[in-house]
Structures are given as C-alpha cells and as structure tokens.
Amino acid sequence: MIRVAISGIGVVSALGVGVGENLVRLLREESGIGRLSLFESRHGVPVGEVGLSNEELKTRLGIPPREVISRTTLLGMLAAEEALRDARPEEGLRVGLVSATSVGGMDLTERFFSRFMEDEHRGRLSLVAQHEPKAGTDRIARHCGIRGYTTTISTACSSSANAIIHGARLIEHGVCDVVVAGGCDSLSKFTLNGFMSLGILDRQRCRPFDASRAGLNLGEGAGYVVLQREKTLAKEPYCFLAGYANANDAHHQTASSPDGEGAYRAMREAVDKAGIITRQIGYVNVHGTGTPNNDAAEAEALQRLFGAEIPPFSSTKPFTGHTLAAAGGIEAVYTTLALRDEICYANLGFRQPVEGTHLIPCRTTERGYTIEYAMSNSFGFGGNDTSLIFSKR
C-alpha cells in the first residue's frame, strides 16, 4: 500500500504570513477578523483580511510592481512557495500542483469593468485575461518551478480539500511523486455582495456552533500541503493522509440538508477509508461557518457519526473568516499542526450550544491532548462535502 505523507505546509491568512505567524496567533486566541480596507463597501461587515497590499505581496515574492497578477494568485504563490520550501523534495522527483480557487482573478476583472462601464473604449484587457482560475494556477506553478501535472479545482468551499484528495490519488496511482495541493482566494466585491444577498453575513465576529450565531465572516488567504510518496521523503513528515472522502447530497444550491446527509457520508466514508473506528479520532476541525443552517446540519452529522462520544472539535473560522476555496487548505495546515503539537484550537465566541444539541466545542486553545487521528471538514455549496483524516503514523 502506498502511504501519502504530508512533508511540507504553507499558509497565508488574516492571522499572518507563514505557518509561524499563524500558529502564534492561534495559540494566543487572537482573531484576525476586522474592518475591510481593500476596497470600498457600503455593507460595513467584518472580514478576515490579509494585512498586506498587493504591492507588499509582490515585494515579498520578488515580483516587479508593474506586473499584473491577481491578489488571489499572489496569496497562493506565497503559501505554495512556503510549503515547497518546507518539504525540500529531492531533485528528479515528479512534482505536480493541484490548486483550488473560486474567486480566481475577480479583483482584476472588477478593476477592468469599473473603467469599461464608464467608457467602452477604456479598460485593460490584460486584467480580464486572468479572470479564469486556471490562469492563477499556471502562474503559481511557474513561480514554484513546478513543471509536472498541473490542474485546477473549483467546487466552492470544499475546493482545497478536494484538491488534496486529487493530489493523493495522483501519488497513489503513480502519476506524481510529490504534489503541492491546496487553494487560494481573495476578498472581492462580487463575493461580498453575493453573500450579502444571501443574507448570511454576520455584522459581528462569527460564532460557529453557538445558539446566537447569525452568519459568517468572509476571509481571504491560501493554504497548501505537500503530499509525498513515503519512500521519497527527505525528512520526517508532519503526518500522513490516512483517509478521505467526498460526498454530495445535492439538497440545495447553497443550503446544507437539514439531516446533514452529505456531511455524514463524507465523514463516514473517510473513517472507513482510514480503516479506523470513530473513537480513534482525537480532534475535528469542523467546517463551522457560523450560519444557522450549516452549523445545525454539521451538528446533526457529528451526532450521527460519533453518537455520545464526540471528540474535541472546533471551528477556526472565527480566527480567519471563511476563506471559501482556500478554507480546506488553510484548515488542513491547522489540522496538521494540531496533530503534531496535540492542540485543540479555541472555538472563539461560543457560549451556548446549537439548539436541540449538547455539542460544546473547545472553549480555549490547549495543548496536551492525545491525538493520533484528526479530521478536517470542508462542506460546500450544492452539498459538495469533503472530509480528510490525518494520522501521526
């Protein structure tokens, strides 16, 4: 059996740039959610914004200021670069990239249309050329020197988790020896306005799994893991990808099924693929957006799967906001660190459990848990639900 190891990790979020900055603020229980400054908006809702301008991101990456690159791509380049540098794969290995996004180059497209709508003869077409998700993936691959298999996945909030599954399969089937897998998304007017029209943005910091929850906070960032065939490792891995599954209940375009069927199936099948029993899971990084529908459905699925023995769990979205397609990658990095350091992160803002349940997430960030297996959930629009299980050995 081919075992898939996690040999490198990289992350950019509202908590900071790099794994070190993110972990420090997670341990301090410092949220990165605050006021929007990237663009003007009349909505006045809090967001999880990366605290660097596009120009500052380019400087960190060694990119000329005049070069046209979407913010989504810049965030992805930083995180993917860190993950690959951390893994240090040996020369001669077949390295691939599976990158996920939902926003793509939307920020550049918005800049184009603001000028085009004033005058149809104005607007730089080079901005529109980066609209599609593939453009960003190709740019990340070039920046990281990845010349092997490259593809893009866009399945809403489960995108990055599905990218990790696809990367694992590429290794299991001998297509690649190493795969950088994860995703990136930036804040944009389109997504902010779109989520506002759905009525699911909270005007305060989100409170997943709390009875008073009123919606989510949007965020931006990027998270990547380096998946590697075990026999090619140059250093001790963080952990292994023990199980994974994707399910789709096709209940509604945006809402989760009330009985959590898709979420339950994803978790159940991931546990089965890992060849373990539910009692062996020591921590769950839940999807936990903070919307009434999502949290109730995930709570129902957790109770169906674990019964009365629900392991320690929490949502890290009150730290970062919901980063859409990047969420699964960022939270895979956080789950990897939780497994390595035996940490359960605080579920910030929690006071009272979801109605009809007794589910109480971790109230504070604490070390000292016994965690041999950890699960990360990413449940997307259209009922596209994915669960990943990581193991120490």
Q: Which residues of 59-82 are buried (b: 16+ CB within 10 A; e: fewer)?
A: eeeebeeeeebbbbbbbbbbbbbb
CA distance 185 to 92: 31
In this structure, what token pair is assigned to residue 106?
């939307």
Among residues 166, 322, 344, 362, the one annotated as catalytic is: 322
Q: Does the active-site annotation cover 252?
A: no
In the block, tokens 């009123």 appear at 214
Among residues 157, 184, 206, 344, the one annotated as catalytic is: 157
In this structure, what token pair is assigned to residue 307?
């019964």
Per DSSP, which regions of 215-372 are E strands? 221-229, 239-248, 281-285, 313-314, 343-344, 366-367
Q: Who's near 346: CB < 8 A, 6+ residues apart? A: 29, 314, 362, 363, 364, 365
Instruction: Find the distance separating the first CA and the last CA of the chain, reported in whole Å.
Output: 14
Closest C-alpha to 107, from 69, 50, 152: 69
CA distance 277 to 268: 10
DSSP state for residue 158 in the 8-state scheme: T
Q: Does the active-site annotation cover 166?
A: no
Q: Which residues of 168-201 are buried (b: 16+ CB within 10 A; e: fewer)?
A: bbbbbeeebbbbbbbbbbbbbbebbeebbeeebb
CA distance 186 to 102: 9
Q: Does the active-site annotation cover 144?
A: no
Task: Supply the DSSP string of 340-390, one letter for each residue.
Answer: HHTEE---TT--SBPTT------SS-EE----SEEEEEEE-GGGEEEEEEE
Question: What is the number of other CB atoms lying within 10 angstroms of the CB of residue 100?
Answer: 36
Alpha-carbon 386 to chain mean position: 11
Among residues 131, 143, 166, 287, the one annotated as catalytic is: 287
Catalytic residue positions, numbered = 157, 287, 322
